Structure 1
Amino acid sequence: MRAARTTPAFPDLEGKHPCFSTTAEGHAKAARLHLPVAPGCNIDCAFCRRDFNRVEQRPGVAARLLSPDDAVAATGRALRIVPNLAVVGIAGPGDPLASDHAIETFSRIHALWPALTLCVSTNGLMLPERVDELAAAGVTTLTVTVNAVDPEIQARVTPKIAWKRKRVNGVEAARRLIDNQLAGIARAEKLGFTIKINTVLIPTVNDHHIGEVAKTVAEAGARMINIIPLIPEGRLAHLGEPDFIARHKARAAAGKHLTVFTHCQRCRADAVGTPGLTDFTRELYGDDIRAEPTFSHG
């Protein structure tokens, strides 16, 4: 079996962006700040369970939702308390492109601290419409979650979406999501974005399909992929987390087409610090910070 690629996909970011660094050493050098400003989502993934708490260590979870004002203030504090902060990202708890909050936040942070690398993680449904806005706001690194490029498979992962103010279901919803993801990746590549793909490895659903996902997104313009083992949650809580062999097979299949990122910590939407090494979340997001009181699951 062919081993996954391990050479850096993005040499300029090695050691400067933990989620785009191929080596363990590079992953451990720079800190990132996740700002939980995205209030809602526009797709319904079967494995997703968003929540507000301080204890769970997984995507989709934050202690609270921040307004853009709160997020800018938090960035200023983070620069004082996190000595190696290099990246500011928005990855939830909803989708950053489903509202205007993330783009407003990025634009304001870029105006104040242009040396920071800005990073967004999105499901890609709104990417073709909003990628130019991201570029104008100073965002340069992009992660798109692509779990399938076959609509029949994607419909099992994401059975419904909200598109143009309407609910779309099943294979039609899956086809729209995939088409938008690939079009958005292609446009982002032309704009000069550094592009990584997140793919959730779901036993019995897409575990046989990872190579085709990697091949297709590579053709669209992505250069790195992160295979994330399913956390059994939501409507897929009955499935087990994929074991080491399943993860190895998926990474090997993806590695024929893309550099494989292997150091993912499955971070919270409000993570602060160097992944797996330091955590400044409580120091930064104290009880004195004002936050929006509600959260929509879309």
Structure 2
Amino acid sequence: MHRLPLEQDLQGHPCFNPGAHHRFGRIHLPVAPRCNIKCGYCDRRLDCANETQPGTASRVIGPEEALWVLQKALAAESRIRVAAVAGPGDPLVNAETFRALELVHAVFPRLIKCLSTNGLLLPETVDRLPGLGVRTLTVTVNCVDPAVGARIYEWVDWRGERLRGEAAAARLIANQLDGIGRAVALGLAVKVNTVLIPGLNQAHVEEVAGTVESLGVRLMNVMPLYPSGSFRHRARPTGAELRAVRAAAAEILPQMSWCRQCRADAYGLLGADTHLINNVESQRK
């Protein structure tokens, strides 16, 4: 099994180190509104304060406001070790992501910088990330077979063209794998998230694990489907199904079993269900 030691300065990352998530926290800065793919389980209408679906946010903030919010959050929660951009769209398609990371890294160079992406633009943007202080990267890879991906992704926007079907999935997968390889070569610690969708990719997760492990990925997070969007009528995997898939994938790649499928504006310890904007906004007054 592929196991790389986590560098000392990354030991405080609660999503990469199983011993850290009860002691250290993270902050997600929701500066990235736009996305370049459409997953079947995504419903962008749910970006609101009262929705706990993964990836949602009360509202999008600008880069300068993100720095202000981070300063207030650190004053309120001293255990935060990670500043991340995880949405609500895809960070790499939004210029605001790069500006926010630039501002944050200049003021808080010792914070771990983290980014979560679908990976479509990773090959052409990954070289910028180390200079912005990004040390850890999460890429959502739900399949490595375009025939499977055609049933998961509704469309992919690529260089002015909207791709659909297997062509869309093939482009996304190729870019994800290329980008992951480049990220690992640059020294980034890479985790892969895979949404377990019963009836679609349940028998395919081991192949995903083997493919990304060969590229140098350190950790895999198999997450249960949160039914939404066009997949809103699909059943979530049962606990037994999730455990079985994780156990099989664990033979290939270490598994993150403590994920809480966070919002794009979460902060504090994992599982605290703390919404960034709701808690910090009142400090303006």
TM-score, scaled to structure 2: 0.94
Q: Does the residue aligned with 1:97 lie in a helix, a strand or coil?
A: helix
Q: CA, structure 1 residues 226+265, in 2 after alignment: closer, same or farther (shift >3 Å)? A: same
Match of 2:205, as an amino acid? I
1:34 aligns with 2:54: no
- Report Cα offsets for 1:193-233 as digits up to 9, x if no partner: 00000000000000010100000011112110001100111
1:152 partner SS: helix
CA contact (8 A) 1:9 1:259 kept: no
Q: Give the match's secondary structure for 2:98.
A: helix
- 1:292 corresponds in structure 2 to none
d(CA) in 2 for partners of 1:150 and 1:9? 30
Q: Give how far 1:60 is off.
A: 2.4
**Is the contact between residue 202 and residue 245 of structure 2 (CA under 8 Å) also seen in structure 1?**
yes
Q: Residues 268 and 278 of structure 1: is their aligned pair in 2 closer, same or farther, counting only changes over 3 Å?
A: closer
**Cα distance between partner residues in 1 of 2:235 and 2:242:** 13
User: Does the alignment pair 1:71 with 2:66?
Assistant: yes
Could you report, residue by residue, the CA deviation over 1:90-130 in whole angstroms, capped at 9, with x for unpaired residues? 10000000121111111111011100000000000000000
Q: How does 1:248-267 map to 2 (within 5 A)?
A: 248-267=243-262
| Cα 1:250/1:258, change in 2 over 3 Å | same
Deviations 1:247-291 (A, max 9, x none): 0111012112111000111111000110124736332244859xx
Q: How many residues align?
A: 283
Q: How does 1:231-250 map to 2 (within 5 A)?
A: 231-250=226-245
Cα drift, residue 72 of structure 1: 1.1
Q: Which piece of structure 1 moves more, 275-284 or 175-184? A: 275-284
Which runs of 5 or more residues in structure 2 are unaligned? Answer: none
Whether 1:196 aligns to 2:191 is yes
Are 1:30 and 1:84, in contact at CA under 8 Å, matched by a contact in 2? Answer: yes
1:159-206 alpha-carbon deviations (Å, 9 max, x no partner): 310000111111011000000000000000000000000000000000
1:8 Cα deviation after fit = 8.3
The residue matched to 1:228 in structure 2 has which SS? strand
Q: Counterparts of 2:61 and 2:48 in 1: how far apart (Å)?
A: 14
Trace 1:274-293 onto structure 2 (pairs within 5 A): 274-277=269-272, 279=274, 281=276, 282-286=278-282, 288=284
Taking the aligned partners of 2:107 and 2:235, their CA distance within structure 1 comes to 45
Distance in 2, Cα, partners of 1:112 & 1:227: 34
In structure 2, give the amino acid aligned to 1:75: L
2:178 corresponding residue in structure 1: 183
Q: Which moved more, 1:240-249 or 1:195-204?
A: 240-249
Query: Does 1:268 pair with 2:263?
Result: yes
CA distance in 1, matches of 2:272, 2:90: 26
| Counterpart residue number, 1:86 | 81
8 Å contact from structure 1 (residues 40, 95) kept in 2: yes
**1:15 to partner: Cα distance:** 5.2
CA contact (8 A) 2:196 2:225 kept: yes
Q: What pairs with 1:121-270 in structure 2 (closer than 5 Å)?
A: 121-270=116-265
Structure 1 residue 20 corresponds to structure 2 residue 19: no
Paired residue type of 2:34: G
Percent identity at matched positions?
42
2:103 to 97, 101, 108: 108
Equivalent AA in structure 2 for residue 85 of structure 1 = I
Q: Please tell me whether the aligned partners of residues 4 and 218 of structure 2 are also in contact (alpha carbons under 8 angstroms).
A: no
- CA distance in 2 between counterparts of 1:221 and 1:157 reads 25
- Which whole-Å CA distance do the structure 2 matches of 1:285 and 1:98 have between them? 26
Q: Distance in 1 between matches of 2:248 and 2:7?
A: 23
Per-residue deviation, 1:135: 1.5
- Alpha-carbon RMSD across the aligned residues, in angstroms, is 1.9
Shift of 1:13: 6.2
Higher mean C-alpha deviation, range 279-288 or range 217-226:
279-288
Compared with structure 1, are the counterparts of its residues 191 and 41 closer, same or farther at alpha carbon in structure 2 (3 Å cutoff)?
A: same
4+ residue runs over 4 A deviation: none
Q: Partners in 1 of 2:9 and 2:256 — Cα distance?
A: 13
